[in-house]
Structure 1
Amino acid sequence: KKDRRAQKFTFRWVLYIVDKDTPSITVKFNRETLVLDSCASKLLYDVCCELLHGGMVRQLQNNELVRDLFDLGPVPVVDPHGKVNKFAKMAAHDAASKYRNQMRGKQRDKRSVVL
């Protein structure tokens, strides 16, 4: 059933391309955008997605060979000091959450005394 659905989708896609213009597909990753405006680029992107099993965005960001295939230019240099790592963000969020819970508890204590 899944194979038939994929086959129908592919046939509809080919029929659409033959009857009309090629659709433009936009893939956004990080702060960049990849525009697939031809059948060849869409086919190349689909083949790469099949081979990389979901790691395509990471490859588009870091892999020079894949970037050359899609004419994205060199890998952009990321400033390591400008980006906060995940653990620092989590620690800040946990501290803010703890403080918020403590203040909420104090407010609840004040209300229970008044009633």
Structure 2
Amino acid sequence: MKNIIAHPLVQLLSFLIILVNGIEWNSMPYGWFVVFGTADGKVFAIIGMFAILICLASIFWRRNFLQPVSLLVMWCSLFAFYWQLTNSHKQMVFKGGPGLITVLIFLTATIMVLNARMQWKNS
């Protein structure tokens, strides 16, 4: 089971389905914000697209190195999104049960990937 959760496609899917409350819209998946923000040149969206490309590349090439790097870039995209919000809107970004559940799913995928890819070996 942990091999399935640590797969790059599950990691990518868990990143894209994070429910975020927008300023103009109600809860929408983070993937929509990345796609539409890329067209506007938003920093968080460009970082998010870069993370998606790294994650897709990790499926076919150097998974042990690229997959943790893509996770780091995904988290940077989420932090950049959160940082660019106004103070009054930061309190309602992940408000509600479904938003928190999707963030926990992504956090679980992050922990499983890091556990699978960065195991320390005793010398």
Give the TM interval when normalised to the shorter protein: under 0.3
Q: With structure 2 as the length reference, what TM-score do the two structures score?
A: 0.23
Structure with the bigger RCO (C-alpha within 8 Å, sep 6+) is 2
**Relative to total residues, which structure has the larger helix share, 1 or 2?**
2
Q: With structure 1 as the length reference, what TM-score do the two structures score?
A: 0.24
| Structure number with larger C-alpha Rg | 1
